[in-house]
Structure 1
């Protein structure tokens, strides 16, 4: 049984991410934890009447969120019924990252699913502050699904890496699982500055990765470009890549590709999901 955390704010964007994840794991027995987090300002030292009103507001918001989650469950059961899938609803009043960390620990979460607005909606800022915080502070794989992504059986997944990461089995198990889920081919992309070559550490890590993936169909590709996001753009578009995988330690890659890309027309962010792994 796989344990997956799906965050929702009841927007069309978060619904699309939920629908994508349910379709992606349609043949796998899963428990999905539907989580909505309510944030309210605290009034330290406020008068009793203010605290009472705040508590009443808090209770009202939590009740509405619970009702919204139950409606979401009915929508899932109607749109994507699946006897292999179980659901647990969670309505929380607290900090965003702290709540996600607690959920991951308490329920042994193996994957977090969140929706992203896409480049057109956020003017080159692909993920919002909450998603960026989860990426950097929560030790759990995260699937970021753009608002215009539609699930279809993946033909090819691309793992973008600079080979500076010491690949571990937990990380690679997630990569293998996603790749084998639909018998998908895996392309491993490295972007090098012109005139540069892999150093000894990178070469060793590449060799280890190749050996670890020997039971999967995979290929290595190297592009020489000044800008990482431009190279990924070209690769993804030329091969019609269905998903991009990265590792959090590749900070420069994450920053250039997922957080604040410099390429003007970053179309792959509109439709291509990102799976971010942790070292």
Structure 2
């Protein structure tokens, strides 16, 4: 049983994330926790007193959550899927982290506004904070993506990390569920000159993938002056339908997703991004 958390603000972005997750895990037994976090000031307790405020807004939120569940059940009926609504008030990151721990969440799925600058939309706020501050796998879904399983998944890496069991297990699961081909991508400005550690890590990953998916993976080296532009071009040219990365790989992650000056995530995405934590 997979436990999946879908934060929602009732926008098209969050609905698309829910729909994508339900489609992706169509053949997997799942419990989906649909979470709405509102400001503490909107709860039914005023300041430090016990004075009850007008509860109209509270019931309105619950109505919206229930309507969301009714809608997804109608669009995507599945006896293997269970839905639980959660309504919370307070700090979004604190509540999300608490929910991940209490509900034993395996994956958080969140939406973005797609190819528009993520820095200006959600990656600089809630989604970016979830990726960097909560130790849980996160699937970021652009709003313009059709809900379907990917046929090609790219895994950018610099081979500087040893691939631990949680990372390899996450890769295995995503490949088993999607039946997709995996492209392991190394990007560099010139012909790579690997260190001994990189050679060992690459060989270990190669042996692992050869064992679990002999004919459905490949290793590619991409040359380009700009790492970010190189991966964007590769996604478009090779019809990549999902990107997956290790959150701990801070050096490569920063090159692809962070604006060093602003310290904000600023990558423009056109495909779902799975960020894996150990």
**TM class by smaller structure:** 0.7 to 0.9
Which residues of 2 match residues 105-254 of structure 1 at below 5 A?
A: 105-120=101-116, 122=118, 127-214=123-210, 215-216=212-213, 217-254=216-253
Higher helix share: 1
Decide whether the 8 Å contact of 1:62 with 1:92 is kept in 2. no
Q: What 5-or-longer segments of structure 2 have no aligned partner? A: 261-266
Q: Cα RMSD over matched residues?
A: 2.5
Q: 1:65 to 1:49 in 2, by over 3 A?
A: closer
Q: 1:195 to 1:28 in 2, by over 3 A?
A: closer
Alpha-carbon distance in structure 2 between the residues aligned to 1:142 and 1:123: 17
| TM-score normalised to structure 1 length | 0.87
Which ranges of 4 or more aligned residues in structure 1 deviate by more than 4 Å? 48-55, 121-126
Decide whether the 8 Å contact of 2:153 with 2:243 is kept in 1. yes
| TM-score normalised to structure 2 length | 0.88
Quote the offset at 1:78 in angstroms: 1.2
Decide whether the 8 Å contact of 1:246 with 1:277 is kept in 2. yes
Q: 1:204 to 1:61 in 2, by over 3 A?
A: farther
Residue matched to 2:9: 9
Cα offsets for 1:94-127 (capped at 9, x unmatched): 2111111111111111110000123426566671
Residue matched to 1:45: none
Residue matched to 2:28: 28
Decide whether the 8 Å contact of 2:36 with 2:86 is kept in 1. yes
Decide whether the 8 Å contact of 2:4 with 2:109 is kept in 1. yes
Greater alpha carbon shift after TM alignment, 120-129 vs 168-177: 120-129
